[in-house]
A and B are shown apart, each in its own frame.
Chain A
Amino acid sequence: MNLTRDGIAWRIARDLNEGSYVNLGVGIPVLVSNYLQSNQEIFLHSENGILGVGPKPNKENIDLDLISAGKGFCTLSLGASLFDQQISFTMMRGGHLTHAILGALEVAENGDFANWKVPGEAVPGVGGAMDLAIGSPNIYVAMTHVSNKGKPKIVHRCTAPLTAKACVKRIYSDIAVIDLTPRGLILKEFMPDYDPVKIQSMTEASLIISPDCREMVIPKTATNGVKLYLS
């Protein structure tokens, strides 16, 4: 069984505690906002100047001056604040956010990762990815374990242009949760139908199997009815 994109987001949301200040990157990470536990107060940061991003507005509630980093209209959550780019990047680069969750093309065993320059994209754009990567104490990567062509994305050394060196702390893939530590990559969880040997065979970097490594427990669908894994 493989987690869907929503399934990866759901699993990440389980690890975010009350009081977290979190930046969600584009792609799978932004889906995490749909699966935060409703009894927990967690602030979502948007690099253009919001701490406390709320859900998308319905038509009547659209405010033309209120957009999130993805350029779509948004609302504000209770306790939100608005500010300029200087304060926003003070939060990002200065280590004030507790987590940044980012997509990636590749993650290397030393914590390097690549996510900003997509092969085949005509014009390169980096945005705030490099600032987040060097500033946040917990860089979590959300991505599929292998590429569309079946190539491992967790590698010895990145081949795609780097976003930042030695900063990724944890990888949430569609089949595993892996911690990056000074000892090496620690396999913490794997999806049912997989086992540590199978996960290693799909991973270029070497994995250490955690003593408490376990099969992931996940519901088939989330409360919003979206499928969390495909069997």
Chain B
Amino acid sequence: MINKQIETCDLAVAQVFDGASIMLGGFGNAGMPGQLIDALRRKAVKNLTIISNGAGTGPFALGALFSEGLAKKLIASYPAPTAAGFRDQFLKGEVELELVPQGSLVERIRCGGNGLGGFYTPTGAGTELAHGKETRMINGREHVLEMALRADFVFLKAHLGDRFGNLAYRGTMRNFNMVMASAGETVVAEVDQIVPAGSIEPDNVHTPGIFVDYLVEIERLPNLLEVPKEGV
């Protein structure tokens, strides 16, 4: 019987090694695998390359990976001015930043998970984010070559999961999680709830279990989605 569930976040990050590259889903706190990040921090592995849209919103969770000096590099589109943990290390020269336009970051990860080498995009053409990158005219428009991106580990956050690794999200949790699921050597999902096999309707599986190696249930209060009705 297939069962990808593991008991704790600490076990889920046990294989992470010094110098590993790690993709983290999430945009803001939605879909951010906060408890796996905290486990990573407890493990105190060093010289990590973090691939994430941002750098956290404070000195906790993702921000703490930077403030505690665990990361040597961040590949991101928007380390916000409020990402104090990252900012302080960046200004001290302790962590390197590779800034990528958000859509190009998504597509680089997609290529990584799809067995593709890279892609040409007009995004960033003629700007300083295209410096050093190959360019090519396509249909009379300048395009920039962006390379595929993969990671040793991918940490995801979903709402529901089953023992096969099938995942379902809610609200704006999907963000980077769905694309990152395909782009890692080892993929771990933290979920609000593990449900019995078959409980997630096949129509409602957002990330098929083939992409997920392990999942761990975390404690979280239920909070149901409310869509406003017409006229309200």
Q: Answer yes or no: do A and B interact.
A: yes
Q: Which residue of A lies closest to B180 (CB)?
A: A85
Q: Report the count of interface residues on A (CB-CB < 8 A).
A: 46
CB distance from B19 to the nearest CB of A (A): 24
Docked-complex contact B86 and A82, CB < 8 angstroms: no
Docked-complex contact B103 and A93, CB < 8 angstroms: yes
Q: Does A127 contact B (CB under 8 A)?
A: yes
Contact partner of A89 (CB less than 8 A), chosen from B55, B57, B99, B106, is B106
Contact partner of A128 (CB less than 8 A), chosen from B54, B103, B128, is B103
Docked-complex contact B227 and A76, CB < 8 angstroms: yes
Question: Chain B, interface size: which category?
Answer: 35 or more
CB within 8 Å of A: which of B116-157?
121-129
Q: Does B27 contact A (CB under 8 A)?
A: yes
Q: Does B175 contact A (CB under 8 A)?
A: yes
Q: Does B5 contact A (CB under 8 A)?
A: no
Q: Mark A103-137, 1 if CB is under 8 A from B, else 0.
A: 00000000000000100011111111111001100
Docked-complex contact B129 and A130, CB < 8 angstroms: yes
Q: Does A156 contact B (CB under 8 A)?
A: no
* Bound form: Cα–Cα A220–B81 in Å: 35
Given A66-B171, A126-B102, A164-B125: 19 more A-B contacts, CB < 8 Å: A47-B102, A48-B27, A48-B175, A64-B30, A64-B171, A65-B225, A71-B29, A75-B226, A75-B228, A85-B106, A122-B81, A122-B87, A122-B90, A124-B97, A126-B78, A126-B129, A128-B77, A130-B129, A163-B127
User: Measuring CB to CB, which residues of chain B are less than 8 angstroms from any residue of chain A?
Assistant: 27-31, 54-55, 57, 76-81, 83, 86-87, 90-91, 97, 99-104, 106-107, 110, 121-129, 159, 170-179, 206, 223-230
